[in-house]
């Protein structure tokens, strides 16, 4: 995209997360950073760190030694590393083994009720939430999601298919839990959050079960969505 925009007369500078791609594509200007995918500016709630990254990228625009200018940003962002002594902002009992949709619904609903206060603290602290794709309130999630376990294919008015409805409910579920678990204290690493969610919550286990079910479904959209967009591969087996 940088190349295309530059060809169309716009000076560009890229915050580049994958060095091999930059070396192949050779955009006009790029700062190659060591941050994990999803974090182009590196560190959340660290204006000074983000500013360093952004200014380094912007300053490339003042150099005249193109047509390809590549620099490295030298520092890891602090929360790339696991936070010592981190504990989740919500204490949950370990998930059990559930048979049937009613058991899953009860367990997930109970857990979600326990998570919601931490989510409210997160929203008050950070002033926003990234939950909102599903178009359903959290109170509706347990019944909706677990109905798929019975073979139902419920939908919501604003999304075209049951597969999309479940995909975006999964996105919202992960976002809500991700926010709740970070409600207090400094930022944990992404690894710490993922490890907690996929291994220590009913919600994570439910998504793993829904993925397995979706991949056996005769509904091709559900099969595709479930196989690709519910559970990162490292956590598929729970």
Partner 1 sequence: MARLDDIPEPTRTTVANLPCPTFETTPFVSGPKLSERRVAIVSSAALIRRGDAPFAVGSGEYRAVPASWNSADILMSHVSINFDRAGFQRDINVVLPVDRLRELVAEGRIGSVAATHFTVMGSTDPAAMAEAADGMAAAMRADNVNAVVLSPV
**Residues 87-126 within binding reach of partner 1 (CB under 8 A):** 126
Give me the least distance between CB of 12 and partner 1, in Å please. 5
Q: Cis ω on the peptide bond leading into residue 123 (within 30° of 0)?
A: no
From residue 31 to residue 70, what is the string marking binding to partner 1 with x (rule CB under 8 A)? Answer: -xxxxxxxxxxxxxx-x--xx--xx-xxx-xx-x-xxx--
Question: Which of helix, strand or coil describes residue 32?
Answer: strand
Whole-angstrom distance, CA of residue 54 vs CA of residue 136:
36
Question: CB-wise, 103 or 229, nearer to partner 1?
Answer: 229
Question: Which of helix, strand or coil describes residue 71?
Answer: strand
Question: CB-wise, 12 or 146, nearer to partner 1?
Answer: 12
Q: Are 214 and 230 within 8 A, CB to CB?
A: yes
Among 142, 168, 222, 226, binds partner 1 (CB under 8 A): 168
Token pair in block for residue 8: 């169309």
Between residue 208 and residue 237, which ones bind partner 1 under the rule CB under 8 A?
Answer: 228-234
Give me the least distance between CB of 225 and partner 1, in Å please. 9
Exposed / middle / buried, residue 127 (Cβ in 10 Å: 0-12, 13-18, 19+): exposed
Among 81, 158, 185, 238, binds partner 1 (CB under 8 A): 158
Give me the least distance between CB of 58 and partner 1, in Å please. 6
Give me the least distance between CB of 110 and partner 1, in Å please. 24
**Of 83, 144, 91, 143, which is closest to residue 117 (Cα–Cα)?**
91
């Amino acid at each position: 995209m940088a190349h295309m925009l530059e060809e169309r007369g716009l000076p560009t500078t890229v915050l580049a997360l994958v060095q091999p791609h930059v070396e192949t594509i050779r955009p006009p200007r790029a700062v190659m950073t060591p941050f994990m995918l999803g974090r182009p500016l590196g560190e959340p709630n660290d204006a000074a760190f983000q500013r360093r990254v952004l200014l380094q990228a912007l300053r490339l625009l003042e150099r005249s030694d193109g047509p390809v200018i590549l620099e490295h940003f030298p520092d890891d962002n602090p929360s790339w590393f696991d936070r010592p002594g981190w504990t989740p902002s919500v204490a949950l009992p370990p998930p059990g083994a559930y048979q049937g949709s009613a058991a899953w619904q009860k367990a997930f609903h109970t857990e979600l009720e326990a998570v919601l206060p931490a989510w409210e603290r997160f929203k008050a602290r950070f002033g926003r939430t990234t939950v909102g794709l599903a178009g359903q309130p959290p109170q509706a999630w347990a019944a909706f999601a677990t109905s798929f376990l019975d073979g139902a294919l419920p939908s919501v008015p604003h999304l075209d298919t049951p597969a999309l409805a479940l995909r975006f409910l999964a996105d919202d579920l992960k976002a809500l839990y991700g926010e709740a678990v970070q409600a207090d204290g400094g930022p944990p690493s992404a690894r710490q959050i993922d490890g907690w969610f996929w291994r220590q919550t009913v919600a994570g286990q439910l998504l793993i079960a829904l993925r397995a079910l979706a991949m056996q479904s005769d509904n091709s959209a559900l099969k595709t969505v479930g196989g690709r967009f519910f559970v990162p591969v490292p956590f598929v087996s729970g």
